[in-house]
Structure 1
């Protein structure tokens, strides 16, 4: 980033929670890793196979998610060393945000209609997501 663009970006980080949140979450690979974690994947090889992501990119994104506090790395085997990745409470709190990105993507970025659908874990029944505007829902709200 050059001169003026860098200053503008830094200014927005100081002023805007959206910019700071994007910094914490990362890029599209990080979003897909978080999606996979939310769907129950926990191991490096599972992510690598499911995402078809390079080892260097996956390692970098997982480290960033751990550093930012969305994911914790837990060793489950010593020899050879093996770890699993688990969402922290911060990472779990991001799941509804990710679900809304999915809903938006199904509506505006899926040429063949719905690509993904939320389902209830035990029953496998579809879950519908709704965003509610409190002001519209409660017209007397001041």
Structure 2
């Protein structure tokens, strides 16, 4: 198994409803800025600094609500808000410029190099919605 094979991602509802096959040896790593209690009970640990920065999250959520009020479905509003706020570029900038995010990325990268199997977890089902978790996984895979 290569180092990049040790890194997976999924969403919390998939874990709660047994929709994914995750190795029992894997560490479930939340990457959520504002985890709920039920989220915390599903994962092993959480790195809030790897969630989207609060200002990006708030701006995104506001646009998401605005698009839904205009009649868009949830997934359409989500993806339109993602584009509207420049989410991908801003999140990637957060990963490369925020000291706490850089430290968390370095720590997780080292854990993968040491052979630990990690699964990033957040709220979004990426079958329909774009998600920071997939950007984070790409970013860390590039570090490896």
**TM-score, structure 2 as length reference:** 0.27
